Structure 1
Amino acid sequence: MSTFEILMPKMGESVEEATITKWFVSVGDKIEEDDVLLEIATDKVDSEIPSPVTGIVKELLYETDALVPVGKAVAIIELEGSDSAEEEKTEAVEVKDKKKEVAGTQVQASDSSATVASTFEIIMPKMGESVEEATITKWFVSVGDKIEEDDVLLEIATDKVDSEIPSPVAGTVSEILYETDALVPVGKAVAIITMEGAEGTSNATSQPAAVKEVEKSVESASQVSAAAQDFSTSDKFYSPLVKSIAKAEGVSVQELDSIKGTGQNNRVTKVDILDYVKNRNASSPAKSSSKPASSPAASSAPKAKEAIQRPPVSVNAEDEIVEMDRMRKLIADHMVMSKQVSPHVTAVIEVDMTNIVLWRNKSKAAYLDKYGEKITFTPIFFEATARALRDFPGVNASVDGQNIIYRKNVNIGMAVALPSGNLIVPVIKQADHKNLAGLTSDVNRMASLARNNKLSPDDIQGGTFTITNFGSFKNIIGTPIINQPQVAILAVGAIEKKPAVIETPTGDVIGIRHKMFLSLSYDHRIVDGALGGNFLRRIGDYLEQFDIDRAI
């Protein structure tokens, strides 16, 4: 008989296992291609796993709540039309990582009279929850090259990060499907590798019909995530199956956002969208006279698609015209979008940094000797900000339509200027759990990775608040733009010596103090003046109360 193994997919670079939270099928159930089989959860994402084939559920290998390693089979499907008497003709198909990591599909067949070449598809990985496509910026291999496992194949770029993609297998590059600078949807195959020991000659004609049918099913499964490219404007997570149904039924992203989900964390499931389509079709006579109802999220969102009248720009003969590079275009679009989405308000305070400056001056040599790295003012800013975010959780939040999402973790982004003149924001995860030494190590490491273009996708995801340092360029103050979907950003100015009034038990005196401006831009949709002002003042208080005798 012909069977198909459903494997636990790899949901991210650092994810090695996932928990089965729910089975939607039982042994003996007849299933169609794209029916949801199970729901899984990791520390990164929850996801529904669809079936890439039609058949009957023969075996469920793990129970609900089981923690399963990536790559392990979780279920076995008996393919439709198979003969249960032919036990010796079993085809095994592995489907690996259709969502967020480099993946491929390896199809093997065993038969008493034929040997089939084994190939592996290199799939465009998903580099972030909201990333649905990536640009191939460079190929490191050519057709015919022999490669080893972990050899770098290509370099890709998204609006989040640039990344090198290694090969998960050893073999020979048999086909490169996209050229340099091609924009490729997530889930699409970009190259085909002939596995080591496989026959590379005319395997397409020698494969049995059953294997070809399975390959077609696997290909259709890998295309499910690619169909999600039409829904990249939504901040919500939808499974590949839900997106596929929405595309087939003509459900717009606004309509999809309006559906009340019954899945975990209110996610829209297959049943939810099918019920929506059924009810919509039942009321189709009314459609001709009325527009589809939009969700509160959609109605409150800015009309970013509307044409904006830009002033005409004249060009003189001596002027030079230079096209923006890819990253600069993305930054420009993100900044414009943020100003359209959030009503910005900026508050400013002046902070006395004298204790911190004196402590750092006397401790930096000893700190370098003890920890082997330099300490700057940045980790001290992170420490004070993380404490204030715990005190004021309303600033550690995001807006989703008419809902407020209060973030559990305090993940602070650090704006880093790159040698190219562009900007990137690596994230220090769970900053409130780390001491000053830990923050210093993370800040130095992230800054180095950013400037050397070595950041991973995980390094720039999950930020809940951002700090930008204008003082690095000797600027004393600034009004930063919020890094969406966060609701606030802190700008740190240059530290300057200034005359100041100092209160003493015997009266006021004039002294020289180290002063600095802090400015906070916040989203006035959910952060009012009292919350924003008190939060900013709390950061200033923590900095001014810094213990000058603090141990390193």
Structure 2
Amino acid sequence: MAKIEILLPAMGEGITEATITQFLKKEGDFVEEEESILEIATDKVDSEIPAPQSGKIAKFLFKEGEVAQVGDVIAILATEGEDVPETVMEETTKTEEPIAIKIDIPLPSTPASSTSQLTSKTENGTFISPLVRTIAQKENISAEVLNQITGSGEGNRITKKDILQYIENTKQGSTENIQEDPIVKKTIPAPQVGITSYTGDNVEIIEMDRMRKLIAQYMLKSKQVSPHVTSFVDVDVTALVQWRNKVKEDFLKKENQKLTFTPIFVEAVAKALKDYPMVNVSVDGDKIIRKKFINVGIATALPSGNLIVPVIKDADEKNLIGITKKVNDLANRARTNKLQPDEIQGSTFTITNLGAFGSTTGTPIINQPEVAILAVGAIKKKPAVIETPQGDTIGIRNIMVLSLSYDHRVVDGALGGMFLKRVAEYLENFDITRSI
């Protein structure tokens, strides 16, 4: 008998699990080598898992919506036309219910016993899975508190959904999935908050999809983590616009690539980050982590209305042609759901183009764990004062607004302002004689 175990592959640094979102084949189907058999989703991107060789799908070991860890056996492929006995399937273990988001929310202090003493069962005999114990230890939830959580799984087992719901309820001051316990109730007071519920024929209730839920969590977390400050600057990009209009047709013929403004913005930001490396940092507790590499994320709108941030790795080491090819490739594959997981992580700074939708400016939210994000507004023709040796005149210029949101824990107004001004200088002083 020949059988092949199909494993959940490694998908990049820091990615340890994925949700099984959809089966593209059924058990018993014959598949060709490299034919996609199921879809998975990490917290930012969807991917397809292909068959490693031709054969018959004997068994799927996970259900749609469940979460697998990297290295888990997710399916069994039988070759040479043979089936794999059911007993073989039962030997392969799997994880339990899905956890789509890693939530990092500080909890109020718990009783004195150490979370390191968590075992596989609570004091009342309820089973605690390794994943639930890991979450509890990370969030500093003690065994005593776990003992008070009413599990929704079989035999009152505490599931991942239960512990995440507890964390969310704690954040909101609610204890609705906690058993009656005067000590727990005293440590988690419930605030008086009015909630309006809309029902009836004159409203439409739309369930958030997986990606929108994640975006909502990330945006909320960023606002909770980073004290945001936003600075603005007007930039005269007339020379840049004239240069692009002059070379874009030749660029398309020579490189088979459309030359947009985005690669030029990436180039300017990469140069400015080298000039001001303390903007190219992240925060870890009371430590500042300065990155010696420059990876620029490009916020990209998807046809679904959601947002994804593909990353230009080592942007400072690429010329304008290289940046252009990478920007176009990532943007195209983002819109067709073809990005790989490691292509949407590891950014050290993000650019978002508000001008693509006609907005002149905005106050973007920082893409954690970065400490700054640049929003690029629409380029508009405006009357402006032009300084010349012969005196000032009024002329029609191409003006855009750059807005920089930054984390005031580590980026003060002086540093944020100097960095923003340097980006503007690189754009305003663009060499109109530059060749391609």
**Would you call these one fold, judging by a TM-score over 0.5?**
yes
Amino acid at match of 1:158: T
Contact conserved, 2:303 with 2:335, CA < 8 A, in 1?
A: yes
1:318 aligns with 2:202: yes
Overall identity of the aligned pairs, in %: 54
1:352 aligns with 2:230: no
Alpha-carbon shift at residue 461 of structure 1 (Å): 1.5
Contact conserved, 2:20 with 2:66, CA < 8 A, in 1?
A: yes
The corresponding residue for 1:419 is 303
Of 505, 516, 526, which residue of structure 1 is paired with 2:389? 505
Alpha-carbon shift at residue 526 of structure 1 (Å): 1.0
The corresponding residue for 1:382 is 266
The corresponding residue for 1:486 is 370
For residues 149-169 of structure 1, give each alpha carbon's deviation from its aligned partner in whole angstroms, at most 9, with x where no partner exists: 322110112221010111223
Compute the TM-score of the two structures, normalised by the length of structure 2. 0.77
1:306 aligns with 2:306: no
For residues 258-304 of structure 1, give each alpha carbon's deviation from its aligned partner in whole angstroms, at most 9, with x where no partner exists: 9xxxxxxxxxxxxxxxxxxxxxxxxxxxxxxxxxxxxxxxxxxx999
Alpha-carbon shift at residue 540 of structure 1 (Å): 0.4
The corresponding residue for 2:400 is 516
Of 288, 292, 301, which residue of structure 2 is paired with 1:408? 292
For 1:227 and 1:379, the matched residues in 2 are separated by 42
Of 290, 314, 338, which residue of structure 2 is paired with 1:430? 314
1:458 aligns with 2:323: no
Contact conserved, 2:366 with 2:373, CA < 8 A, in 1?
A: yes
For 2:36 and 2:278, the matched residues in 1 are separated by 43
Alpha-carbon shift at residue 119 of structure 1 (Å): 2.3
Unaligned runs of 5+ in 2: 106-115, 121-129, 141-166, 174-192
Of 147, 157, 162, which residue of structure 1 is paired with 2:31? 147
Amino acid at match of 1:522: Y
Of 83, 92, 102, which residue of structure 2 is paired with 1:200? 83
Alignment of 1:48-447 (within 5 A): 117-196=1-80, 200=83, 202=85, 204=87, 232-233=102-103, 306-307=171-172, 309=193, 311-447=195-331
Amino acid at match of 1:527: V
Distance 1:484 1:305, change over 3 A: farther
The corresponding residue for 1:534 is 418
Greater relative contact order (Cα < 8 A, sep 6+): 2
For residues 185-217 of structure 1, give each alpha carbon's deviation from its aligned partner in whole angstroms, at most 9, with x where no partner exists: 4444322112337x5365959xxxxxx9xx97x
SS of 2:171's partner is coil
Contact conserved, 2:19 with 2:42, CA < 8 A, in 1?
A: yes
Contact conserved, 2:386 with 2:392, CA < 8 A, in 1?
A: yes
Contact conserved, 2:380 with 2:399, CA < 8 A, in 1?
A: yes
Alpha-carbon shift at residue 402 of structure 1 (Å): 1.7
Contact conserved, 2:67 with 2:98, CA < 8 A, in 1?
A: no
For residues 221-245 of structure 1, give each alpha carbon's deviation from its aligned partner in whole angstroms, at most 9, with x where no partner exists: x87xx9997994579xxxxxxxxx9
Amino acid at match of 1:122: I
For residues 411-466 of structure 1, give each alpha carbon's deviation from its aligned partner in whole angstroms, at most 9, with x where no partner exists: 10101111111111100110000111111111111111111111111211111111
For 2:63 and 2:359, the matched residues in 1 are separated by 44
For 2:307 and 2:358, the matched residues in 1 are separated by 18
How many residue pairs match? The answer is 370
Q: Which has the higher strand share?
A: 1
SS of 2:64's partner is coil
| Structure whose alpha-carbon radius of gyration is higher | 1
SS of 1:323's partner is coil
The corresponding residue for 1:267 is none
For residues 362-399 of structure 1, give each alpha carbon's deviation from its aligned partner in whole angstroms, at most 9, with x where no partner exists: 11111112111210111110000000011111111111
For 1:255 and 1:322, the matched residues in 2 are separated by 35
For 1:346 and 1:192, the matched residues in 2 are separated by 52
SS of 1:138's partner is strand
Alpha-carbon shift at residue 247 of structure 1 (Å): 6.9
Contact conserved, 2:65 with 2:98, CA < 8 A, in 1?
A: no
Which stretch of the first structure deviates more once superposed, 380-389 or 135-144? 135-144
Compute the TM-score of the two structures, normalised by the length of structure 1. 0.61
Distance 1:201 1:534, change over 3 A: closer
For 1:551 and 1:172, the matched residues in 2 are separated by 56
Contact conserved, 2:19 with 2:100, CA < 8 A, in 1?
A: no
For 2:355 and 2:431, the matched residues in 1 are separated by 23
Which stretch of the first structure deviates more once superposed, 459-468 or 401-410? 401-410
Unaligned runs of 5+ in 1: 1-116, 206-211, 236-244, 259-301
SS of 1:361's partner is helix
For residues 322-369 of structure 1, give each alpha carbon's deviation from its aligned partner in whole angstroms, at most 9, with x where no partner exists: 111111111111111111111111111110100001111111111112
Distance 1:437 1:429, change over 3 A: same
Alpha-carbon shift at residue 248 of structure 1 (Å): 5.3
Amino acid at match of 1:532: G
For residues 456-479 of structure 1, give each alpha carbon's deviation from its aligned partner in whole angstroms, at most 9, with x where no partner exists: 112111111110000001110000
Distance 1:488 1:444, change over 3 A: same
Distance 1:246 1:401, change over 3 A: farther
Contact conserved, 1:132 with 1:228, CA < 8 A, in 2?
A: no
Distance 1:254 1:543, change over 3 A: farther
Distance 1:231 1:252, change over 3 A: farther
